[in-house]
């Protein structure tokens, strides 16, 4: 399932390429036909994400809410702006098994003038922003024939976006959007303020639930998934089984600030980069290979990069949990 940085990046692609345009909205699959009729011909006025959900505002107070879930995918085609990470990875962002971003000759470092955020130009191409997506040949015809069961197609004169396999795809009014937001925890990309941080800290420290479960609870904090959960807890040195009530206020604030920090890196680079201080070739390798950018995730049975103890793999609420029993107490 995509983690928070992926959905924010998808929202940015919509903001860059679709906002301000009247959209032709259809449902090639037919399952969203009624919703498509409500949105067809309306101007897209704003797009933003909270955690793993994206909200698209249309003129007339209609909103399209999309949750990709495990199998959802967006296909973009036409004259799109695609940055380096999207173009080189066929737009697959945020999945836990992604192949990474591979560069040709340039060395990308933390100070570089050739940083990922500075690269991007309109191009006639097709890119995929999805979860659990297989590689496939991409054509350049426009508009392209729908691939698979396309729930909804959003089309301008120059750009097309197809949505397949989402967990949620529905038209809401503003009051309904507000009701959804009320059920979600804070997202630092939407509001990095201390008020949001205090809300997170209070939610953590009032519960006797294991911190490893609380970080995955979208009503506590929006956007954290399995990768970020494992890495944030390792970076904090916190045992994932420790109850929230036993997390000190300083520890809870440190978790929040680290999430603010790591999420911004993910949004900017397209990768869940959780090892600090990498530059030059190390950064390049980490951007291309998951094994070079994570402390514990998917490293079960291997020596901890910090202490040498074998990384442990457990199951917590039917999700895999990676952690170091020596470094995390």
Q: How far apart are CA 260 and CA 86, in angstroms?
A: 22
Regarding whether 200 and 104 lie in a shared domain, the answer is no
Give 299-321 pLDDT, tens digit per residue: 999 999 999 999 999 999 999 99
**Residue 328 in domain:** no
**Residue 225 in domain:** yes
Residue 213 CA, chain-centre distance (Å), reads 19
Confidence of residue 127 (pLDDT cuts 50, 70, 90): low
The pLDDT of 38-67, averaged and rounded, is 97
Q: Check if the beta carbon of residue 108 is closer than 8 Å to that of residue 284.
A: yes
Give 198-257 pLDDT, tens digit per residue: 999 999 999 999 999 999 999 999 999 999 999 999 999 999 999 999 999 999 999 999
Among the three residues 180, 195, 226, which one is the final residue of a domain in this structure? 180
pLDDT score at 128: 58
Regarding whether 260 and 146 lie in a shared domain, the answer is no
Residue 230's CATH number: 1.10.8.50
Structure tokens at 67: 């949750």
Regarding whether 198 and 116 lie in a shared domain, the answer is no
pLDDT score at 83: 55
Regarding whether 208 and 98 lie in a shared domain, the answer is no
Query: Given strand 168-172, what is the order of strands in its sheet?
Result: 44-50, 53-58, 62-67, 168-172
Q: How far apart are CA 267 and CA 46, in angstroms?
A: 18
Kindly report whether the peptide bond that precedes residue 114 is cis, defined as omega within 30 degrees of 0: no
Structure tokens at 245: 């009530």
Regarding whether 15 and 156 lie in a shared domain, the answer is yes
**Residue 174 in domain:** yes
Regarding whether 159 and 14 lie in a shared domain, the answer is yes
Regarding whether 135 and 9 lie in a shared domain, the answer is yes
Regarding whether 39 and 147 lie in a shared domain, the answer is yes
Regarding whether 210 and 298 lie in a shared domain, the answer is yes
Q: Which residue has the higher pLDDT, 191 or 130?
A: 191
- Of residues 3, 133, 231, 251, which has the active-site annotation? 3
Let me know if 124 is a catalytic residue: no
Q: Check if the beta carbon of residue 315 is closer than 8 Å to that of residue 230.
A: no
pLDDT score at 29: 95
Regarding whether 112 and 194 lie in a shared domain, the answer is no
Question: DSSP 3-state assignment of 183?
Answer: coil
Structure tokens at 87: 């173009």
Beta strand segments in 19-149, E:
24-26, 44-50, 53-58, 62-67, 73-82, 121-130
pLDDT score at 105: 42
**Residue 266 in domain:** yes
Q: Check if the beta carbon of residue 245 is closer than 8 Å to that of residue 206.
A: yes
Let me know if 2 is a catalytic residue: yes
Regarding whether 199 and 87 lie in a shared domain, the answer is no
Number of domains comprising the chain:
2
Tell me the C-alpha to C-alpha distance, in Å, between residue 47 and each of 14, 59, 94, 220: 7, 12, 19, 23
Residue 204 CA, chain-centre distance (Å), reads 22
Let me know if 243 is a catalytic residue: no
Among the three residues 160, 180, 200, which one is the final residue of a domain in this structure? 180
- Of residues 9, 52, 128, 229, which has the active-site annotation? 52
Let me know if 207 is a catalytic residue: no
**Percent of the residues in the chain that have a pLDDT greater than 70, as a whole number:** 82
Q: How far apart are CA 56 and CA 168, in angstroms?
A: 13
Q: Check if the beta carbon of residue 99 is closer than 8 Å to that of residue 180.
A: no
- Of residues 16, 123, 298, 319, which has the active-site annotation? 319
Number of C-beta neighbours around residue 239 at 10 A: 18
Structure tokens at 77: 């085609």
Give 145-158 pLDDT, tens digit per residue: 998 899 999 999 99
The pLDDT of 80-106, averaged and rounded, is 47
Average per-residue pLDDT for the chain:
85
Element (H, E) at 281: helix 280-288
**Residue 172 in domain:** yes
* DSSP code of residue 104: S
- Of residues 2, 28, 188, 192, which has the active-site annotation? 2
Regarding whether 192 and 176 lie in a shared domain, the answer is no
Among the three residues 133, 160, 180, which one is the final residue of a domain in this structure? 180
Residue 48's CATH number: 3.20.190.10
Nearest to 211 by CA among 229, 184, 188: 229
Range of the domain at 311: 187-323
**Residue 329 in domain:** no
Look at the chain and count its residues. Answer: 329
Q: How far apart are CA 8 and CA 11, in angstroms?
A: 5
């Amino acid at each position: 399932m995509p983690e928070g940085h992926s959905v924010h990046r998808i929202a940015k692609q919509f903001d860059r390429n679709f906002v301000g345009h009247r959209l032709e909205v259809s449902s090639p699959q037919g399952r969203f036909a009624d919703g498509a009729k409500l949105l067809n011909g309306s101007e897209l006025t704003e797009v933003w994400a909270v955690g793993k959900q994206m909200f698209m505002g249309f003129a007339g107070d209609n909103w399209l809410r999309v949750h990709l879930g495990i199998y959802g995918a967006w296909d973009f085609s036409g004259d799109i702006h695609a940055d380096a990470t999207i173009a080189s990875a066929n737009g697959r962002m945020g999945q836990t098994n992604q192949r990474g971003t591979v560069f040709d000759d340039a060395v990308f470092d933390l100070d570089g003038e050739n940083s990922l955020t500075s690269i991007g130009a309109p191009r006639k191409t097709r890119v995929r922003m999805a979860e659990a997506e297989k590689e496939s040949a991409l054509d350049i015809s426009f508009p392209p024939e729908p691939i698979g069961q396309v729930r909804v197609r959003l089309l301008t004169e120059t750009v097309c976006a197809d949505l397949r396999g989402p967990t949620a795809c529905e038209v809401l009014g503003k009051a309904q959007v507000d009701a959804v937001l009320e059920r979600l925890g804070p997202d630092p990309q939407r509001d990095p303020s201390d008020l949001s941080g205090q809300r997170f800290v209070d939610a953590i420290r009032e519960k006797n639930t294991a911190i490893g479960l609380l970080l995955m609870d979208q009503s506590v904090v929006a956007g954290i998934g399995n990768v970020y959960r494992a890495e944030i807890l390792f970076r904090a040195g916190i045992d994932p089984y420790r109850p929230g009530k036993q997390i000190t206020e300083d520890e809870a604030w440190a978790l929040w600030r680290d999430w603010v920090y790591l999420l911004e890196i993910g949004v900017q680079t397209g990768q869940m980069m959780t090892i600090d201080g990498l530059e030059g070739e190390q950064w390049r390798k980490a951007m291309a290979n998951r094994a070079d950018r994570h402390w514990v995730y998917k490293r079960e049975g291997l020596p901890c990069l910090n202490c040498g103890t074998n990384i442990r793999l457990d199951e917590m609420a039917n999700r895999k949990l990676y952690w170091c029993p020596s470094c995390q107490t």
